[in-house]
């Protein structure tokens, strides 16, 4: 019983379970599709409590990491992903799904993994915050520009950003107060993990027929996601080493470049472009998880080799 309890508390197991259940029981996802925005708002609120207000001071130290987070997350990553999708994807809705991913803010998982992977945690916090704040303006602009506002209203997209970024950020400041934070700190991990899992279940479930009937599309999606996470991440790491960059900051920048908020991408894609656009976002969750696991296992192997 204790083994099962520990298993359901494991983030990796929960996300993999969400994908499996989406493939098996996905027909039921249609009944909870309309609640995705509310689920994301709750998840984002609890996630952002990882960003302590005290980490933002002194203010003059914010500029460089915030600009770095913005450039890595919205420029370099976006150019590679949208370029690959334009070359490989013929379906309009799937292409729009990749546009959503490219303009999605970084995942808050960057912060704990910066600690796990021996990156610069404070630098990561400021980089994530900078990209988050710019999402409210950058995402509506880029999505509208690339898609030509096909079937969407700029104000609708802006309000989605407010609901899922601005309001959770404000509420999270209140949750950091001593009294509520005692409870928040205990349940945060579970709320975030199971909330993201529910969003992934919906994205996979709504498209389960495609997963079973169109393997060619899935291979192309997987290829794009592999190139924009593993290959792009490793290439950036090589460039940093060649330039003699600080390894600690380079690790944080690697995460800012490659780790996106899959839950945000799922909700935005479904809300703006429909369920088919959410297929790449479901794959995003898998590849983000695999890349983080790869970095973690690689670090463990390096540490073992040093000890030997």
Phi, psi of 215 (to 5 degrees): -65, -30
**Rounded mean pLDDT of 196-211?**
82
pLDDT at 99: 92
| H runs (alpha helix) in the chain | 2-8, 11-25, 36-47, 63-70, 77-88, 92-102, 110-116, 121-147, 154-161, 167-175, 178-206, 208-213, 215-226, 232-242, 247-258, 262-273, 279-307
pLDDT at 125: 84
Round to whole Å and give the CA distance between 12 and 197: 10
Share of the chain above pLDDT 70, in %: 91
Please tell me whether the peptide bond between 58 and the residue prior to it is cis, using omega within 30 degrees of 0. yes
pLDDT digits (tens, 9 = 90+) for 135-176: 777 877 777 777 776 655 667 777 888 888 888 888 988 888
Q: Hey, is 37 helix, strand or coil?
A: helix
| Average pLDDT over all residues of the chain | 83
Point out which residues pair with 260 in neighbouring strands. 106
pLDDT digits (tens, 9 = 90+) for 40-79: 888 888 887 877 766 666 666 777 888 888 889 888 999 9
pTM of the complete model: 0.84
pLDDT at 109: 83
Write b or e for each residue in 242-255: b if 16 or more Cβ atoms lie within 10 A of its Cβ, otherwise e.
Answer: eeeeeeebbbbbbb
Q: Is pLDDT at 217 greater than 60 in this prediction?
A: yes
| Domains by residue range for the chain, with CATH | 35-300 (1.20.1530.20)
Question: In the chain, what's the furthest Cα-to-Cα distance?
Answer: 59
pLDDT at 74: 87
Contact yes or no for 203/279 (Cβ under 8 A):
yes
Q: Is pLDDT at 4 greater than 70 in this prediction?
A: no
């Amino acid at each position: 019983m204790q083994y099962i309890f520990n298993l359901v508390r494991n983030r990796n197991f929960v996300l993999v379970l969400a994908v499996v259940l989406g493939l098996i029981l996905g027909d039921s996802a249609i009944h909870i599709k309309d609640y995705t925005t509310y689920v994301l708002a709750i998840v984002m609120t609890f996630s952002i409590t990882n960003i302590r207000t005290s980490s933002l001071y002194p203010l003059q130290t914010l500029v460089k990491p915030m600009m770095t987070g913005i450039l890595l997350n919205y420029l370099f990553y976006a150019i590679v992903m949208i370029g690959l999708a334009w070359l490989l994807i013929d379906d309009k809705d799937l292409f729009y799904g990749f546009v959503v991913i490219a303009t999605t803010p970084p995942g808050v998982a960057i912060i704990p993994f910066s600690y796990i992977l021996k990156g610069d945690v404070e630098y990561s916090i400021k980089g994530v915050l900078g990209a988050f704040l710019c999402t409210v303006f950058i995402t509506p602009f880029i999505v509208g520009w690339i898609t030509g506002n096909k079937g969407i209203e700029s104000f609708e997209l802006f309000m989605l950003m407010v609901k899922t970024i601005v309001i959770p950020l404000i509420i999270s400041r209140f949750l950091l107060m001593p009294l509520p934070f005692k409870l928040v700190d205990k349940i945060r991990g579970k709320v975030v993990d199971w909330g993201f899992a529910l969003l992934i279940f919906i994205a996979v479930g709504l498209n389960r027929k495609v997963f079973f009937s169109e393997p060619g599309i899935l291979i192309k999606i997987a290829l794009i996601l592999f190139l924009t996470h593993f290959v792009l991440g490793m290439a950036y790491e090589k460039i940093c080493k060649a330039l003699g960059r600080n390894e600690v900051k380079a690790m944080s920048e690697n995460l800012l470049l490659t780790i996106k908020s899959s839950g945000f991408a799922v909700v935005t894609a479904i809300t703006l472009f429909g369920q088919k656009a959410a297929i790449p976002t479901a794959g995003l969750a898998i590849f983000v998880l695999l890349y983080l696991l790869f970095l973690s296992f690689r670090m463990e192997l390096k540490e073992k080799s040093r000890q030997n």
